Amino acid sequence: MSLLVVGTTALDSIKTPYAENPRLLGGSASHAAIAASFFTKTHLVGAVGDDFPRKYINLYRKHGLCLEGLEQLSGQTFHWSGEYEVNMNNRRTLDTVLGVIESYSPTLNASNAKLPYVLLANIAPDVQGRVLDQMSRAKFIVADTMDLWLNIARDPLLKLLKRIDCLVLNDSEAAQLVEEDNVIAAIPRIHKLGPKYVIVKKGEHGSILSSPKGLFIAPAYPLKKVIDPTGAGDSFVGGLMGYLASSKGGLEKNLRASIVQGSVTASFCCEGFGLQKTTRIKKSDITKRVRELTRMVAW
Ligand code: AMP
């Protein structure tokens, strides 16, 4: 089945201790939708400015994304720049220029409004909410978020949590959301805010799914070298939702398998700047790593 992904479609300027790359294709929706496209038909909803390079639209097309929901507005494309420390985990935002997304309110066409799987990738929670207002047949809704919204848009975020099936967030965001540093203790408190399913990402240490059937612990694919982790979280949830939308059978079993596919998809993201590696792999590369990872955790 098809998947709708809404979020930011951005230009990212990324600096690591080893290299610097300006104006790469980035944004939560770009990473998530391209990751999802390996598994299912994916519809992208977002806004770019008139400076958005044609080659990036072509890259979206190469991945078969449906672009009917991608608006080109007059003004600048959302631009984010960030810098990583030597450990490649600590990141500092250097600058954020909202550009056209400052006043962006997505309008879905009739076919996008009927899609069964919905990924509200990281963007302001009121924008995520306005997308949900227009969805008429959603079967499974997942939302991602970030510390910024916990700081400046807590109320709209809390309202959104009552309307979604699954929240995906990282361990520090989980601690901040419910003021509890222990992830395992934080999870039941997050369920109380609304979502029946909670997925906590722990970077290179994998992720935890909490569902009515209990906990599932998923590893990350071990990498010798990380070039740039920007977008890994978005690729994780994109791969996860793409795989889930393509699966038949029980939700719990499919979610577990989807998390493993999402982890592996995210591993490729870390091996290149921005989307450079992810846009060069094939689905068979993901399948091969999933097999390797499965062997690594079997006993
Ligand atoms: P991640 O590394 O998974 O946290 O995602 C990084 C991506 O998030 C980059 O491609 C950025 O363009 C995008 N991003 C950065 N800041 C924001 C923001 N405030 N809202 C939405 N997306 C953002």
pLDDT category, 288, cuts 50, 70, 90? very high
State the pLDDT at residue 29. 98
Could you tell me which of 82, 86, 40 has the C-alpha nearest to residue 63? 40
Encode pLDDT of 172-193 as tens digits: 999 999 999 999 999 999 999 9
For ligand 1, say whether the CB of 26 is within 6 Å of any of its atoms: yes
For ligand 1, say whether the CB of 77 is within 6 Å of any of its atoms: no
State the pLDDT at residue 132. 98
pLDDT category, 62, cuts 50, 70, 90? very high
For ligand 1, say whether the CB of 82 is within 6 Å of any of its atoms: no
- Beta pairing partners, 70: 46
Asked whether the beta carbons of 124 and 10 are under 8 A apart, the reply is no
Encode pLDDT of 231-285 as tens digits: 999 999 999 999 999 999 999 999 999 999 999 999 999 999 999 999 999 999 9
Task: Name the residue at shortest CA distance from atom 20 of ligand 1.
Answer: 123
User: How far lies 247's CA from each of 77, 92, 97, 153, 290, in Å?
Assistant: 34, 37, 38, 34, 16
State the pLDDT at residue 284. 98
DSSP secondary structure, the chain, as one string: --EEEES--EEEEEE-SS-EEEEEEE-HHHHHHHHHTTTS-EEEEEEE-TTS-HHHHHHHHHTT-EEEEEEE-SSPPPEEEEEE-TTSS-EEEEEEE-GGGGG------HHHHT-SEEEE-SS-HHHHHHHHHH-SS-SEEEEE--HHHHHH-HHHHHHHHTT-SEEEEEHHHHHHHHT-S-HHHHHHHHHHTS-SEEEEE-GGG-EEEEETTEEEEEPPPP-S--S--TTHHHHHHHHHHHHHHH--S-HHHHHHHHHHHHHHHHHHHTTSSTTTTGGG--HHHHHHHHHHHHHHH--
pLDDT category, 20, cuts 50, 70, 90? very high
> Average pLDDT in the 40-59 region?
98
Task: Name the residue at shortest CA distance from atom 9 of ligand 1.
Answer: 27
Residue 113's CB: how many other CB atoms inside 10 A? Answer: 17
Encode pLDDT of 105-119 as tens digits: 999 999 999 999 999
State the pLDDT at residue 287. 98
Residue 289's CB: how many other CB atoms inside 10 A? Answer: 19
For ligand 1, say whether the CB of 81 is within 6 Å of any of its atoms: no
> Average pLDDT in the 33-42 region?
98
For ligand 1, say whether the CB of 230 is within 6 Å of any of its atoms: yes
State the pLDDT at residue 79. 98
CA of 9 to the centre of ligand 1 (A): 9
Q: For ligand 1, pick from 28, 119, 276 the residue to mutate: most ligand atoms within 8 Å of CB.
A: 28
Could you tell me which of 158, 156, 208 has the C-alpha nearest to residue 187? 208
Residues 77 and 210: their CA atoms lie apart, in Å, by 36
State the pLDDT at residue 89. 87
State the pLDDT at residue 244. 98
Q: What is the pTM of this model?
A: 0.97
> Average pLDDT in the 154-173 region?
98
Burial class (CB in 10 A: 0-12, 13-18, 19+), 297: exposed
CA of 231 to the centre of ligand 1 (A): 7
Asked whether the beta carbons of 116 and 2 are under 8 A apart, the reply is yes
Residues 78 and 28: their CA atoms lie apart, in Å, by 11
> Average pLDDT in the 196-211 region?
97
